Structure 1
Amino acid sequence: MAKATTNALQKPLTPSAELAQIVGAGQLSRGETVSRVWDYIKTNRLQNPQNKREIVADAKLKPIFGGKDRVSMFEMSKHLSGHLK
Structure 2
Amino acid sequence: MLELALTRNGGETLTYRVSKAKDKEEYTLKVSSRPEYFRLTSYQAKPLIESASLKTVTETIAGVGEQESVSNTDKKVTVPDTSGEGTASE
TM-score using structure 2 length: 0.23
| Higher helix fraction (1 or 2) | 1
| Higher strand fraction (1 or 2) | 2
TM-score using structure 1 length: 0.24
- Greater radius of gyration (CA): 2
Higher relative contact order (CA 8 A, sep 6+): 1
